Amino acid sequence: MKPRFAPHLIAAYTAVICAGASLSAHAETGKLLLTGGVSSIDGAAGGGLTPWAVIGSNATEGEIGGSAFFTTAGTRDYGLNILGAAIGIQDRFEISVAQQDFNTRATGTALGLPGLHLKQSIVGLKARVAGDAILDSDSLMPQVAVGVEFKRLGSTGLDGTLRALGAKRDGVDLYVSATKLFLGQSLLVNGTLRATKANQNGLLGFGATLGGGSNNSYSLQPEFSIAYLVSKNVAVGAEYRFMRNKLETAGRAAGLGNGLRSEDWKDIFIAWAPNKNVSVTLAYVDLGVIVPATTASRKQTGYYLSAQVAF
């Protein structure tokens, strides 16, 4: 069975491409390089791991813009490919879509599911509700945005395991982000607070009833980013994303010990924008442990590479 959102994703990709064709007249408009962020793993504009309050694309007030991205990441035991797109409307609203393809590699084989891929579809909405990152750069007022992400995990041979744990294949994340740009100091800082039931960002389902009802409730997870503009088109920075760990309790109740433990995600990145339409991000990532029962509790460290086009 294909993820429910797949047709909507295709339609959204098409809409972004059509929007790009109609916006050629705005090619010279837009934001300062890199101030609109890059594409996060869930499709929203921000850093690689977490959304920011900025609105994706190069569009400023009175304009509509779009962006599209491809991301690939690899750790010691897993691989991840992501395709996504976003539309920015008047620098106030953002609509994003992303399709994640998580290759379980040896873990799938250990579970008796060789070649197992976990595919997650995400539709995101974001609205700027206060502040302006550029216009308020000489004050302490940050840009503030609220967002929602609708996530659905495609059906695989892992469905029975998720049902046994009491985890669902669909969920909704809510978040609020505050982004502060200190233009004179070439510094950007961001804080995001996410309400979520997602296990490993949704790749292992949402919530869990086995082992106690509290495992099935929302939890608040903070996320932080900092970026320094080395030159007008190169930024370096780091991110830290707290990760929900309630699936471990369900795993213990199922006799798996700490085999489903999760840990916080973090990265160190460099982003390069040769022009206002193209950006490339390279990062070293540390995703902690993911299903340590099958990976000898190895830390999932590795690379992250993302390319984005925006207009």
- Secondary structure of the chain as H, E, C letters: CCCCCHHHHHHHHHHHHHHHHHCHHHCCCCCCCCCCCEECCCCCEECCCCECCCCCCCCCCCCEEEEEEEEEEEECCCEEEEEEEEEEECCCEEEEEEEEEEECCHHHHHCCCCCCEEEEEEEEEEEEEECCCCCCCCCCCCEEEEEEEEEEECCCCCHHHHHHHCCECEEEEEEEEEEEEEHHHCEEEEEEEEEECECHHHCCCECCCCCCHHHHCCEEEEEEEEEEEEECCEEEEEEEECCCCCHHHHHHHCCCCCCCCCCCEEEEEEEEEEECCEEEEEEEEECCCCCHHHCCCCCCEEEEEEEEEEC
Residues 4-31: tens digit of each pLDDT: 444 445 444 444 444 443 443 343 446 7
How far is C-alpha 238 from the geometric centre of its chain's CA atoms?
Answer: 15
The closest alpha carbon to 95, from 188, 170, 218, 5, belongs to 5
* CA Rg value for the chain: 19
Q: What does the angle CA 278 – CA 279 – CA 280 come to, to the nearest 5 degrees?
A: 135
Domain 6-310 sits in CATH at: 2.40.160.40
d(CA 117, CA 257): 24
d(CA 80, CA 302): 11
222-to-19, 47, 195 alpha-carbon distances in Å: 34, 14, 9
Q: 280 with 42: CB under 8 angstroms?
A: no
The answer to whether the predicted template modeling score (pTM) of the entire model surpasses 0.85 is yes
Q: pLDDT tens per residue, the chain (311 residues)?
A: 444 444 445 444 444 444 443 443 343 446 778 888 899 999 999 999 999 999 999 998 899 999 999 999 999 999 999 999 999 999 999 999 999 999 999 999 999 999 999 999 999 999 999 999 988 888 999 999 999 999 999 999 999 999 999 999 999 999 999 999 999 999 999 999 999 999 999 999 999 999 887 889 999 999 999 999 999 999 999 999 999 999 999 999 999 999 999 999 999 999 999 998 999 999 999 999 999 999 999 999 999 999 999 99
pLDDT score recorded for residue 9: 52
Q: 283 with 241: CB under 8 angstroms?
A: no
